[in-house]
Structure 1
Amino acid sequence: MKIFALDTSTEQICLAYCDNKNTYSASYSGESRHIVKLAPMIESFSKLASINFEEVDVLACGIGPGSLTGLRIGIATVQGIACAFKKKIVPVVSSKILAMNFIYHVGDIVVVKHAREGFVYFSCYRKGEETVAPKILSVQEAIETVSTLENPIFVGDAKDFFKNYGEVVPSELEVLRGELLLKETLRNFEKNLVLEPHQVEPMYLQKSIAEMNLEKRLKG
């Protein structure tokens, strides 16, 4: 089976491809924005891996949570490929791919990313399985949730909020790995988690300021 997948939920761009014999992955982290780097990266990567998108069986992309701008760029790019070659898309939860780096940790793997000021995207995993689905919490709510977990480690750009509550993973280990992105893509494909291109959307968990203000008024 030939699979092409990408993730743009963080400052890193992750590309991955496998066929029946070979596995390729590439990543970029730096000053250039995704909108500048992604298309030329895919072009170069496709030449390196000899990708013929007409022959690709599965397209996939990370849907977050994470940077909404980055996610939209990545998703739109995969949607364009899917429409051009009449393919469907497998959505992948980006925070799970990050957590899979630490699958052998005995305890809870907590992925925390910055959302709006005072809030974080929060999700939790254990042995590769989701135990708390991605959601947005205030930092205080997240700390209260963490107090119920077993031997937690913290991953993500908001991890320093939680350094007094468990181990904080070194930043150099927080890498989206292409092999894990492909593994989760195949797993979702086998579960028939496959969408038409227009159905794929970012996992956008933040409430608008208007919604939050309305809730405050309703609570008195």
Structure 2
Amino acid sequence: MSAKILALDTATENCSVALLVNDHVYVRREVAPRDHTKKILPMVDEVLKEAGLALNELDALAFGRGPGSFTGVRIGIGIAQGLAFGAELPMIGVSTLEAMAKGSYRSMGATHVACAIDARMSEVYWGRFMRQEDGAWCTIDEESVISPTTLAEHSQTDKFSWVKAGTGWDAYTDALGDIKYDVIQGCVIYPDAEDIALLASLEFEKGNTVAVEEASPVYLRDKVAWKKLPGRE
């Protein structure tokens, strides 16, 4: 019997919750950039009720660990830790970039995915992933925060066609258009809890869980994007 895993993600504009039970996924999702704190817990209640389960009957709680919005990532991990602590569940952090790669495979069968989330300040959160036979994803380009121009300058041609995923492609069309390897249009804009749950199930099978107090975000950048005010440096 597969693990029962609750997953949530608020790292980007998309707010989503998924509950994986016996290979069936109960999902709630909504693009709600400013309402994550209002939406996420009702979504959790809804999927649990739909599945007929209580939180303490689950095996693990997964969360989108970032990268993404600083505020969104903090909200997600804080709520996830609170739920996991109360139900005494182990936790599994999943990369939001890898989740978009998984979403691209789920949606269109893509096995080579180039993920770019708009990180503001003329940068993207970047990662390239290749699907393995066991369903896991191999990291081709390590996750980083980088300017699209620099990324394009250091890119090299290869034999694959890479499916685009994430908000960064539309935000920096011109600069990312100079990338040297072949890229094709994708359909995934945001990471989603459904894919986080599916990836977390693979990690759970390997025993890769952490205690609540050890769950941590991945920001990739230690400064928050902000606009300078008149008279401020």
| TM-score in terms of structure 2 length | 0.79
1:89-168 aligned at under 5 Å gives the runs: 89-103=91-105, 104-105=109-110, 108-127=112-131, 128-149=137-158, 150-160=160-170, 161=172, 162-165=176-179, 166-167=182-183
Which residue matches 2:185? Answer: 169
Report the more deviating stretch, 145-154 or 46-55: 145-154
Task: Report deviation, 1:74.
Answer: 1.1
Structure 2: segments with no counterpart, 5+ residues: 132-136, 225-233
The match for 1:23 among 18, 22, 25 is 25
Q: Is the 8 A contact 2:12 2:190 kept in 1?
A: no
Per the TM alignment, residue 164 of structure 1 is displaced from its structure 2 partner at its CA by 4.8
2-structure distance, mates of 1:112, 1:21: 29
Q: Which amino acid aligns with 1:152?
A: W
Q: Quick one: percent identity of the two aligned structures?
A: 26
Distance change in 2, residues 1:153/1:19 (3 Å): closer
1:32 shift after superposition? 4.4
Other structure's SS at 1:54 match? helix
Distance 2:147 2:192 in 1: 29
The size of the alignment, in residue pairs, is 207
Deviation by residue 1:8-27 (Cα, 9 ceiling, x = unmatched): 12111121112237431111
Change (3 A) 1:145 1:49: farther
- In structure 1, C-alpha distance between the alignment counterparts of 2:33 and 2:149, rounded to whole Å: 32
Gaps of 5+ in 1: 210-220
CA distance in 2, matches of 1:64, 1:5: 13
Q: How far apart are the structure 2 equivalents of 1:15 and 1:146?
A: 35
Instruction: For 1:82 and 1:31, locate their aligned partners in 2 and report how far apart those are by CA, in whole Å.
Output: 24
The one-letter code of the counterpart of 2:162 is P
Partners of 1:146 and 1:152 within 8 A in 2 = no
